[in-house]
Amino acid sequence: MKKYILLVALLAPLSGAFAEPEKVECSTEPSLTANSCEVCYIDDFEATATKDGWTSNITNVKIPWKHAGGEKAEIIYDNEQKFPEIKTTLKYTAKPEKASELWTNHETLVWTPFPDHKEVLIENDDEIGLYKLANKAGITVTGKNIDDTLLFLTPLVVRDFDIATNEETSPKTRNVCVL
């Protein structure tokens, strides 16, 4: 009976079918503030109990991009973006190992092509997916405690853009994090 209760207790905080990450205040989790996260989400992933703790095979992650607010649109350029970084003290393996093969743009991120770059523009109150794990990609994580975490940190280089005047501000980096 104890094993059954432990299994339920272990899986409860980590289980759940794929859903949109939940937006939270960055100050709610120490690892979010420690990594200078500015836009924060929490997501749950299924885990399986092992004799030493748990293991999770993550195959579906969404890194969102939500407009920060204000009257101007926001614009990003493909050649300025970096793939998400995995920040954790847990043992994990990513397959494939190269970030450029592990991650792909989310299907809601549709680049407008130009001869020398691609760009995406969103307006106030818009939210789209920025990155997701590529097809057949995955991350296997091993932990010991039910409160162990893994952080996906994505430095989004963004500019405010005035649609009426076609002018943009200097770039700023906004750390988008999914815990």
Q: Please give the residue range of the domain that contains residue 163.
A: 2-178
Phi first, then psi: give them for residue 11, nearest 5 degrees.
-80, -25
Residue 13 and residue 147: Cα distance in Å, rounded? 8
Q: Determine the pLDDT at residue 159.
A: 98
Residue 51 and residue 53: Cα distance in Å, rounded? 6
- 165 DSSP 8-state letter: T
Q: Determine the pLDDT at residue 19.
A: 58
pLDDT (tens digit per residue) in 128-161 = 999 999 999 999 999 998 888 999 999 999 999 9
Token duo for residue 135: 């097809």
Per-residue pLDDT for the chain (179 aa), expressed as one digit of tens each? 333 332 322 333 333 334 589 999 999 999 999 999 999 999 988 999 999 999 999 999 999 999 999 999 999 999 999 999 999 999 999 999 999 999 999 999 999 999 999 999 999 999 999 999 999 999 999 999 888 899 999 999 999 999 999 999 999 999 999 99
pLDDT (tens digit per residue) in 164-177 = 999 999 999 999 99
Tallying the residues shown for the chain, one arrives at: 179
Structural domains counted in the chain: 1
